[in-house]
Amino acid sequence: MGSAFLLLDGFKDVLTWNGLLSVFVGSAFGITIGALPGLNASMGVALLLPLTYGMAPLPAVVMLLSIYCGAIYGGSITAILLRTPGTTAAACTVFDGYEMAQNGEPGRALSMAATASFIGGIFSVIVLVFLSPPLARMALMFGPAEYFALCFFGLSIITSLSTDNMIKGLVSAVAGLLLGTVGIDIVTGVSRFTFDMPELLNGVSFIPVLIGLFAVSQVLVTYEKGTDDLGGAKQKISGVTISWKDLRDCSGTIARSSVIGTIVGILPGAGATMASFISYNEARRWSKHPELYGKGFIEGIAAPESANNAATGGAMVPLLSLGIPGSETTAVLIGAFMIQGLRPGPLLFRENPQLIYGLFAGMVLANIAFFVLGMLGSKLFAQVTKIPNRILLPVILLFASIGSFAESNSLTDVFLMYFFGVVGYFMRKFEFPVAPLVLALVLGPMAESNLRRALIISAGNWSTFATRPISAVLLLIGFLTLIMPFVRMVKDRKKAVAA
């Protein structure tokens, strides 16, 4: 109860003109940053950080938190409208969001993205308010073995992402895993597949690959189909917003994904991208219509969007409770705290509870702000699909180029983006799914480094993965997820033979 009263006090502190202005300016800026490919939440927070030097601590940090929440939601806008995920966390939203937009329902897709993000975000703030200290302690129980098991669980989704053609899906995933080995090996310092190119020492950047595979390949396919009489959308725009029925149908998916997103977000280093992939797979597994996923199914937007925004609140748990930044953005946020003379951690809860609960209230308002802006803007954003392709396609390529360049100010990334655009085009032509490659590229390097760290810690004892309970459970679930589609295939074949 104490926490609830303190939260009410926090609302009193934030509900001032200054506080509300910080929330709305931060959210609008965050949405814009998130929607621009290549710019992410951490860049947005870093960009506005100098503006907060002269501000009071509460509105300053609340503004940066609003950017964080807004940016994670904003990534879905371009993912849905242009097949170009604004942030990596929105990669999963492309699968169904773009299809819905092309089927004449961009408004419905955008509204669902805003609503699911809002619910996921609010859920994670509630968890943050009431459960952050014990959850932060639980996150510390995650060692390399548990992280490897979590990555393995994440990678096990590959088989269900490849049900149309299992072999090609697995080839795509293996290609992603191989791509993830490029660069300096962090355990031994050996350069792998770098061909003496210094640009490859840090590995293949994820953003250019993502933009190339999704956006550039789509542009090439659209040019091939012919563009003179086509607009962005195949059909007339209908369904400007979601209905209560949509919300009711997706309520289970949103609830499940919010829990997954919050838990994954709490784990340092895991993050919103992993949360969205895991929740997408779980949503598909639990759905009554798994066959509709990837074809413009609204649950396919609800799942990743609620999870990636739930991860924002989750990521704040170790930051505020233990002073440990679990992600790039929270690392920038810790800098903002320090500029204001604050040191996140258990002492901050004791010494400055008013500020902490003010921040919690600020996060609630930030979620409300991006929801309001997102819902109001969805009708406007949806008009993007009406822009004729002869204008839209060059602009997408331009955005893609700047987005790839902006991540690390490197023209090599722009080259990589176009290269993977061509690769993505051929993958689509030859019916290789792109999603497994993207997933493997995100999780592969993390899985490899944690497996090797775990083995070094255990002096080469492989049983460490089975004897640690969290690791064992995650590995078991991952293994079951991996073989389930094969079991289903065999069952279906037996049924067909019997019939």
Partner 1 sequence: MKNFKYVNSVLGAILFLFGIWCFVKSGEYVPLIEMEGQVGANVFPELFSGALMFLAALMVILDVKNFTKPTFVSFESFGIVAVISVLCFVFWYCIPKAGFLFSACIFTCVLTFLATRKIRPLDLVSVVVVTGLIYFVFATLLKVPLPHGFFI
CA within 13 Å, CB half, 326 = 27
The answer to whether residue 463 forms part of the interface with partner 1 (CB under 8 A) is no
Binding region for partner 1 (CB under 8 A) out of 111-119, 122-130, 222-230, 474-482 = 222-230
Q: Does the protein bind partner 1 through residue 190 (CB under 8 A)?
A: yes
**One-letter-per-residue 3-state SS of 171-226:** HHHHHHHHHHCCEECCCCCCEECCCCCHHHCCCCCHHHHHHHHHHHHHHHHHHHHC
Q: Are 465 and 149 in contact (CB under 8 A)?
A: yes
Q: Please work out the total of residues on this chain that contact partner 1, with binding judged by CB under 8 A.
A: 65
Q: What is the largest CA-CA distance in the chain?
A: 75
- Toward partner 1, which CB reaches closer, 225 or 350? 225
**Residue 196, interface with partner 1 (CB under 8 A)?**
no
Write down the least CB distance from residue 432 to partner 1, Å.
Answer: 9
* 193 contributes a contact to partner 1 by CB under 8 A: yes
Check binding of 334 to partner 1 (CB under 8 A): no
Determine, following the binding rule CB under 8 A, whether residue 430 of this chain makes contact with partner 1.
yes
Query: Do 265 and 283 touch, CB atoms closer than 8 A?
Result: no
Beta strands in 327-382 (DSSP E): none
Interacting span for partner 1 (CB under 8 A) from 79-87, 145-153, 169-177, 300-308: 169-177
Asked if 408 is part of the footprint of partner 1 (rule: CB under 8 A), the reply reads no
Among 20, 55, 406, 484, binds partner 1 (CB under 8 A): 406
For residue 391, state whether it binds partner 1 (rule: CB under 8 A). yes
Query: Exactly one of 54, 198, 226, 341 binds partner 1 (CB under 8 A); which one?
Result: 226
C-alpha to C-alpha distance for 44 and 312, rounded to whole angstroms: 15
Give CA–CA dist 210/197, Å, rounded: 21
Of 126-134, 135-143, 355-363, 394-402: span binding partner 1 (CB under 8 A): 394-402
Restricted to residues 18-37, the positions that interact with partner 1 (CB under 8 A) are 33, 36
Helix (H, G, I), strand (E, B) or coil at 156: coil
If we measure between CA atoms, which residue out of 77, 109, 388, 103 comes closest to residue 236?
103
Q: Least distance to partner 1 from the beta carbon of 208, Å?
A: 11
Q: How does DSSP classify residue 461?
A: -
Q: At what angle do helices 299-322 and 93-102 cross, to 10 degrees?
A: 140
Question: What does DSSP assign to residue 431?
Answer: T
Among 11, 130, 349, 415, binds partner 1 (CB under 8 A): 415
Between 103 and 458, CB nearer to partner 1: 458
Can you tell me the distance from the alpha carbon of 166 to that of 146, in angstroms, rounded to the nearest whole number? Answer: 28
Tokens 């037996």 correspond to what residue?
494
Which one, of 34, 28, 33, 21, lies nearest residue 60 by Cα? Answer: 21
Given candidates 15, 140, 376, 456, which one binds partner 1 under the rule CB under 8 A?
Answer: 456
| Alpha carbon 235 to its chain's center | 29
From 98, 142, 370, 399, residue interacting with partner 1 (rule: CB under 8 A) = 399
Residue that has been written with the tokens 């100098």 in this structure:
50
Residue carrying the six token digits 């930030």: 366
Sole binder of partner 1 in the list 26, 344, 421, 433 (CB under 8 A): 421
State which residue, 172 or 321, has the beta carbon closest to partner 1: 172
For residue 490, state whether it binds partner 1 (rule: CB under 8 A).
Answer: no
114, 393, 438, 475: which one binds partner 1 (CB under 8 A):
393
Is residue 50 within the footprint of partner 1 (CB under 8 A)? Answer: no
Contact 73, 305 (CB under 8 A): yes
- Subset of residues 361 to 390 that bind partner 1, contact rule: CB under 8 A: 389-390
State yes or no: residue 409 binds partner 1 (CB under 8 A): yes
Interface residues with partner 1 (CB under 8 A) are 33, 36, 39, 47, 165, 167-168, 170-171, 174-175, 177-178, 181, 185, 187-193, 216, 219-220, 223-228, 389-391, 393-395, 397-399, 401-402, 405-406, 409, 411, 414-415, 418, 421-422, 425, 429-431, 448, 451-452, 455-461
